[in-house]
Structure 1
Amino acid sequence: MATKQAHFVPQTYLRGFLFDEKKERTYAYNSRSKMITPTKIDKICSQNYLYRIKDKDGKDSDEIEEMLAKGIESKYQGWLNTVRLGEWIDNATIADISIFIALQYLRVPRTMDFFEETGIKFLKDVLKDKLSKLLDDNARKAMMDEFKKDDPARFEKLLKENPDFTGELSKQDIQDMIDENNMKLTIDIGKNNVIRGMLEQVLPIAEKFIRRGWHIMFAPDGYEFITSDMPAFVAKRMPNGVVHFSFGGFGRLDSEIVFPMAKDVCIVISGPEYFQKTGEVTPVAVDIINRMVSSRPNLQYLISAQKSLVESYSRYLSPPQTQEYS
């Protein structure tokens, strides 16, 4: 069955931030409209056919969306219930949650766009390198001679369709192609390749999480964590309070991976060695996490079970001061 509306932040995750369980509504601040609205979770954090790919026969396929929905998202509530027990979490569950967090970081449109932009840049750099070799007169002549020999029909067609083309390329022609301003190339690396590249990164990133320390943070009574349309992120809090997002990537052992699991619990992965630290944190610690969540660049939605929280954190906030979680 065709899946039109693909949620890049799963509804099973967003259910952890509801104020209306029956109608499945949350409060969402939309940075584009500057409005805060009580919103059904099926109306936000989605994009039509986001994970649709082409199968081996070239036909549209929703197998990725179905794999995400049935194979991973369906298990999230069980993992959340396990974490909420506040007890030691077994290795298998830690591995499963790590995969979910890594996938949640990768599957949002912003990250997928980054994969595509990176792929296009790589291909352009390869092409520029090959073109640069043609600045040599002998290499350029050899290439054109080979072209004439291997594909004479196409060569003749170029001559007919391009009156200014003499059958040879000058050094200036090559330089104009290399010049960034004149290199008008449309490179499509293909959605299949973008999604394949995204999925190939899930396990390597998750493996980094498994080897680091896990803070399972519970909000005290009267306080809640908020989330966004990019709920999993890596950040580094500097001594002066400035927060650098994606600071050196997941490989930096002095960075923190932040993932609000629900309004009552948040996971922060940090440190060079594995451990589990579980317990209720202070209101100040909740505020630090919420400020980090809301300060991340390029957000569209801030999401919370409390209107007052999205209203408060929707403002441009200065980064939180460095402080130990307690």
Structure 2
Amino acid sequence: MGHHYVPREHLRRFAIQNKSKFVWMYDKHTRKYREAAIRTVAQENGYYDLETESALAEVVEGPGKKVIDKLLKRDAIDNAERTSLSLYFMIMLSRGPRQRKKSFELVPGIREKVIKETEDLIRQWITDEPGNRMAHHRLQELELARKKFSDEIPQNVMDIIRRPHWSEQTVECIYNMCWHIMPAPLGKYFVTGDTPAHSFESLGLRNLSSEYTISLSKDLALIGDYKRKTGIIYERLDAQVAKEVNRRILSHTERFVFSPRNEKWIDMVAQKNEPYLSHISRYK
């Protein structure tokens, strides 16, 4: 069994009715559904190193699960629990294959930029000290590095990309939001995916217009924003907002969607390359 990039406890909240160990898994590539055992999905051999896997289980997933369980029962949570859940929410945004793919795609451009800036500095050094053998030697070393890393990514960079990223600032941003918790419409449900959370990447999490979205279960979803002061509000049913939650989650899905039922609308929404996603104005 590989390392899960979506926690099994999270997936269990989207289980098929009367089949608590199974979910419907939709594949965006093949456009097919299949009933799948939760223990076998959203996982990959060697996805994390053992240290990262252990830290996620002990520091993020365990404490996060306990607080989500309280929210699902409408129990109050304290500041320490809110902090634990804010970390959990941030990791859910960054741990999946979508973020990892985007990070790897950035590497060539960043690598070339660093090499070019270094080359400019060395060539200026040579201009200032034409006879300096060390400067010429550094330029040769740089060319060797350019050739070596043109086809491979340095191991230390690989290690950084493979770890879910977060910072105290981003966790604090989620903590400071107002958390609106809303139910799914009668007979409907929320979905989750291989990237279980959504934020508007062009805004980040610090902008006053930023919003954070995650499906807590098939029955409840959470939207965080800065329109109201820090706290938790259990909102009334709003079918349009519920649709927007699912659109957001599906827009961030790299490949796999997990749901309690297999219905055509999931395929229709998931296949949109650049879906229009709107900000939610109802919670002002």
Instruction: Determine if the TM-score, normalized by the shorter chain, exceeds 0.5.
Output: yes
State the secondary structure of the residue aligned to 1:249.
coil
The aligned residue for residue 96 of structure 2 is 108
For 1:280, which of 221, 224, 236 is the aligned residue? 236
Q: Is the 8 A contact 2:28 2:267 kept in 1?
A: no
The question of whether the paired residues in 2 share the 8 Å contact of 1:79 and 1:97 is answered with: yes
Deviation digits for residues 3-29 of structure 1, max 9, x if unmatched? x50111111110010015556111111
Contact 1:133 1:139 in 2 (8 A): no
Q: Distance in 1 between matches of 2:73 and 2:17?
A: 23
CA contact (8 A) 1:105 1:232 kept: yes
* Partner AA of 2:198 in structure 1: F
8 Å CA contact 1:214, 1:269 repeated in 2:
yes
**CA positional deviation for 1:73:** 2.0
Alpha-carbon distance between aligned partners in 2 of 1:23 and 1:216, rounded to the nearest angstrom: 23
- Pair 113,312 (structure 1): closer, same or farther in 2 beyond 3 Å: closer
Give the deviation of 1:95 after TM superposition.
1.1
Query: CA offsets per residue over residues 230-286 of structure 1, 9 Å max, x none?
Result: 111202xxxxxxxxxx12211222021101111111111111641321133222221
Which AA in structure 2 matches 1:78? Answer: K
Q: Which of 175, 194, 210 is the matching residue for 1:229?
A: 194
| CA RMSD, Structure 1 to Structure 2 (Å) | 3.2
Q: Secondary structure of the equivalent of 2:243?
A: helix
Q: Cα gap change, 1:134/1:227 in structure 2, threshold over 3 Å: closer, same or farther?
A: same
What amino acid is the match of 1:104? M
| Distance of 1:322 and 1:68 partners within structure 2 | 31
Q: Distance in 2 between matches of 1:312 and 1:147?
A: 59
Name the CA shift for 1:185/1:288 in 2 (closer, same or farther; >3 Å).
Answer: closer
For residue 188 of structure 1, what is the aligned residue in structure 2? 154
Residue identity in the other structure for 2:243: D
Structure 1 residues 147 and 135: alpha-carbon distance in aligned structure 2, compared to 1, 3 A threshold: closer
Q: Show the counterpart of 1:138.
A: 127
Take 1:259 and 1:142, find their aligned partners in 2: how far apart are those partners?
A: 61
1:40-98: per-residue Cα shift (whole Å, max 9, x none)?
A: 1222211211111xxxxxxxxx1221221233323444222200122443222211111
Choose which of 201, 206, 219 in structure 2 pairs with 1:264. Answer: 219
Indicate whether 1:13 and 2:2 are aligned: no
**Taking structure 1 as the reference length, what is the TM-score of the superposition?**
0.72
Aligned position for 2:57: 69
Relative to structure 1, is the Cα distance of residues 26 and 185 closer, same or farther in structure 2, using a 3 angstrom cutoff? Answer: closer
- 3-state secondary structure, aligned to 2:35: strand
Paired residues of 2:122 and 2:135 also in contact (CA < 8 A): no
- Which residue in the other structure is 1:42 paired with? 39
Give the match for residue 73 of structure 2: 85
Q: Which has the larger radius of gyration?
A: 1
Alpha-carbon distance in structure 2 between the residues aligned to 1:269 and 1:256: 5
Which aligned pairs between 1:297-308 and structure 2 lie closer than 5 A?
A: 299-308=254-263
- Distance in 2 (CA, whole Å) between partners of 1:322 and 1:252 is 13
Deviates more, 1:28-37 or 1:280-289: 280-289
| Secondary structure of 1:17 counterpart | coil
Q: Relative to structure 1, is the Cα distance of residues 146 and 313 closer, same or farther in structure 2, using a 3 angstrom cutoff? A: closer
Structure 2 unaligned blocks of 5 or more: none
Q: Taking every aligned residue pair, what percent have the same amino acid on both sides?
A: 19
Please point out which of 263, 273, 276 is paired with 1:319: 276
Amino acid at match of 1:82: K
Give the TM-score of the pair, scaled to structure 2: 0.82
2:171 is aligned to 206
3-state DSSP of counterpart to 2:190: coil
Identify unmatched segments of 5+ residues in structure 1: 53-61, 152-167, 236-245
**Residues 259, 140 of structure 1: CA spacing in aligned structure 2 closer, same or farther, 3 A cutoff?**
farther
Structure 2 CA distance for partners of 1:133 and 1:63, relative to 1, 3 Å: closer
1:27 match: secondary structure: strand
In 1, distance between residues paired with 2:107 and 2:268? 38
CA distance in 2, matches of 1:301, 1:128: 38
Question: Number of residues paired by the alignment?
Answer: 274
Cα pair distance change 1:186/1:28, threshold 3 Å: closer
- Classify the secondary structure of the residue corresponding to 2:59: helix
2:240 match: secondary structure? helix
| Shift in Å, 1:135 | 4.0
Q: Provide the C-alpha distance between the structure 2 equivalents of 1:105 and 1:73, rounded to a whole number of angstroms.
A: 13
Say whether the 8 Å CA contact 1:10–1:73 is kept in structure 2.
yes
Cα offset, 1:193, TM superposition: 3.2
Contact 1:304-1:310 within 8 A present in 2 as well = no
